[in-house]
Amino acid sequence: MAGIKDVAERAGVSISTVSYVMSGKRSVRQETKHRVMQAARDLGYFPNAGARMLRGERTNILALSSPMHEYTDYTNYSAFFFAMAQRARRYGYDLLLLMGEDETEDLMRMGDGGLVDGILLLDVTLDDPRVKCAKSCRVPMVSIGVPADTSDLYCVDLDFELMGRWAVERASALGHRHVLLLGDREAAYDNGSNFIIRLRDSVFAAASECGMTVDFCPSVGRNAAEVEKSLDRVFVDGHGPTAIFGQCNLNELGQVAEYLRERGLLIPRDVSLLALGTYGNAASMSPPLDEIPMLPFTTCPRAVDVLMDIIEGKRELAGGVELLPSKYLKRGSMGPAPGRTD
């Protein structure tokens, strides 16, 4: 049986460094950690809980990594948590929620220490440091979201590129040639939140193909005064886009609808309104809004299924991207562009 000394020699590091990597008690450079973990794999050396996993024993625990950001709306995120927890229970698994400040250290500690059998990543950014852990972590990871680098990582998410194209195609078919895209908070784009950037870029790409003009404005604010200030720059003397795509929460969309009403602009007669990436509850708006929603109870269970397939040896740990379609919910808030009767 290989020992810690053998791992140290193979990795070209000290015995204490191997101990730090395995225990997670001290920070070790990522490159060194990769080298030590590869040496341990080659030699079949995993101490403590890791040895249990080598023998085929499981913890029956999955970790869910969901970092906290200033722009994260955890009221809606609860649906993601419950969807994953419910699916995990079907496999006899519990879900451990990780929300620490140093997510990469938490993941490596849980995975390399053999404390969990697999890890799910939520709220993934394009250049997410957690994704790099997938290359060296001893347990498999599945991402709900698509980062820039998907090698060695399975990703499951809604097809936000298709969502953006559906929105543009619907507006174009109704004769709209000038659209406003109201986005999420600016900090979310700056941080590289993958799905809102993918959706935004898809809207621009599809609009370019059909000759549609798209104005983009990050979150217009949480109250009527902020919404008024933002939209006044868009609707000048009553003129502006004939359709609005709202990639923001329902509270802001409600403020937008009120802004239009106060200026005598009716939905959809004068301005059409479409909710993107909301949670299927835009029917409660006045008027009810057309919507292409998030589907946490579709994407999250699928991500758990993929992770369990890997754990059970039903698929290789090679990485891949699986995109699921949303659905278009028609409620009458998208109408013909003004001047068009069909």
Chain mean pLDDT for the chain: 87
Rounded mean pLDDT, 283-292: 95
* pTM of the model as a whole: 0.81
Rounded mean pLDDT, 105-109: 76
Rounded mean pLDDT, 208-227: 86
What pLDDT was estimated at residue 42? 82
pLDDT at 335 > cutoff 90? yes
Highest-pLDDT range among 2-11, 22-31, 157-166, 230-239: 157-166
Kindly give, in sequence order, each residue whose CB lies less than 8 Å from that of residue 14, ignoring residues fewer than 6 positions away: 8
Rounded mean pLDDT, 173-183: 95
pLDDT band at 24 (very low <50, low <70, confident <90, very high): low
What pLDDT was estimated at residue 114? 76
Domains of the chain, first to last: 1-45 (1.10.260.40), 160-292 (3.40.50.2300)
pLDDT at 307 > cutoff 80? yes
What pLDDT was estimated at residue 35? 87
What pLDDT was estimated at residue 20? 83
What pLDDT was estimated at residue 84? 96
Q: pLDDT tens across 91-104, in order?
A: 999 999 988 655 67
Rounded mean pLDDT, 259-268: 92
SS (H, E, C) the chain: CCCHHHHHHHHCCCHHHHHHHHHCCCCCCHHHHHHHHHHHHHHCCCCCHHHHHHCCCCCCEEEEECCCCCCCCHHHHHHHHHHHHHHHHHCCCEEEEECCCCHHHHHHHHHHCCCCCEEEECCCECCCHHHHHCCCCCCCEEEECCCCCCCCCEEEEECHHHHHHHHHHHHHHCCCCEEEEECCCHHHHHCCEHHHHHHHHHHHHHHHHCCCEEEEECCCCCCHHHHHHHHHCCCECCECCCEEEECCCHHHHHHHHHHHHHCCCCCCCCCEEEEECCCCCHHHCCCCCEEECCCHHHHHHHHHHHHHHHHCCCCCCCCEEEEECCCCECCCCCCCCCCCCC
Under 8 Å between Cβ of 175 and 158: no
What pLDDT was estimated at residue 235? 85
What pLDDT was estimated at residue 55? 47
Rounded mean pLDDT, 289-300: 96
pLDDT at 49 > cutoff 70? no
Rounded mean pLDDT, 114-132: 90
Rounded mean pLDDT, 275-297: 94
pLDDT at 7 > cutoff 50? yes
Please give the share of the chain, as a percent, with pLDDT higher than 70.
89
Q: What is the rounded CA–CA span in Å between residue 41 and residue 233?
A: 59
Please give the share of the chain, as a percent, with pLDDT higher than 90.
53
Of residues 285 and 2, more confidence is placed in: 285
pLDDT band at 1 (very low <50, low <70, confident <90, very high): low
What pLDDT was estimated at residue 78? 85
Rounded mean pLDDT, 298-315: 93
